[in-house]
Amino acid sequence: MVLFDIQGGEYSFSNFTARLRVTRDDIAPKYLYRVLHHFYASGGTFPLQKDGKSQLKNLDLEGYLDTKIPLLPLDIQRQVVAEYEALERESEAVSEKMVRCQKLTLHENYFAFDEGRLGDVAVMVKRGKSTRYGQSNIQVIKSGQARGFLEFDFRKKHYVDSSFIPDERNLQRGDLLINSTGVGTAGRVTLFDFNGDFVADSHITIVRLNARKALPKYVLYALANIGFKNIEAMATGQSG
């Protein structure tokens, strides 16, 4: 899904593209684009139908137009669009900064030092613990909630059952959480840096570092330089 927002010139579209034109005065095109894009990115699906000749799945345009959207007042629609665009600019600035930081990490002088194995600077490398969910005060971090770098998605929180028995896998600040299963998620590395009682589920590998040998953030960025996708490629089995 792409918003066409180019001024001037003449353009046409191929027959593989459906064009949606807003003709109502109470809908801002950029707002409609944001709503539909968010719907799709959040796992929403649009109706498809098979072409009788090619058997390819095509967008069912009539069904697509039945998609329900929140119809906010026009001034609030423009406010939503402005907030989206501000967040995008902020995200782009962070991405550019990360690229600069990665170049620093790859400085040629650093390669005069010997390379070491991750296991040589770790005091613990273990999978998280399978558990039943319940109402205790120990929060479970599921693999889908560890989003990479320093980001966690805690919009929905999960807690272990009161029968849960804590052990050395209870998370400590500075632990690295490596998503260890699942196509598209394995290989993602997130730094745990919270106070409180947390555990990781069994789809996450916990790497606890020797504080005298390695800084957690440095190791995080070193793994990021290898690339989360490259780490994912080390996964085995059909389901990763």
pLDDT digits 0-9 by tens, 42-53 = 767 777 777 666
Mean pLDDT over the full length of the chain: 84
CATH 3.90.220.20 fits 116-232, yes or no: yes
> What is the reported pLDDT for 111?
67
Q: What is the pLDDT of residue 230?
A: 77
pLDDT > 90? residue 35: no
201 in Cβ contact with 141 (< 8 Å): yes
DSSP β-bridge partners for residue 179:
204
Q: Which tens digit of pLDDT belongs to each residue from 150-165?
A: 999 999 999 999 999 8
- What's the pLDDT at 138? 95
The percent of residues in the chain predicted with pLDDT above 90, rounded, is 34
What's the pTM value of the predicted model, to 2 decimals? 0.57
Task: Tell me how far apart the alpha carbons of residues 105 and 117 are, in angstroms, rounded to a whole number.
Answer: 17
Vertex 129: Cα angle to 124 and 130 (nearest 5): 160
pLDDT tens per residue, range 106-152: 666 766 777 888 999 999 999 998 888 999 999 999 988 999 889 99
For position 55, what pLDDT does the model report? 64
pLDDT at 52: 65
Per residue in 199-236, pLDDT (tens digit) is 999 999 999 999 999 999 999 988 887 777 777 777 77
Where does the chain show beta strands of DSSP type E? 48-50, 57-59, 122-127, 139-141, 146-148, 151-152, 158-159, 176-179, 189-191, 198-200, 204-209
Pick from 205, 173, 202: nearest CA to 189: 205
Band of residue 239 on the pLDDT scale cut at 50, 70, 90 = low
pLDDT given at position 223: 86
Give the separation between CA 19 and CA 33, rounded to whole angstroms: 12
Domain ranges of the chain: 1-113, 116-232
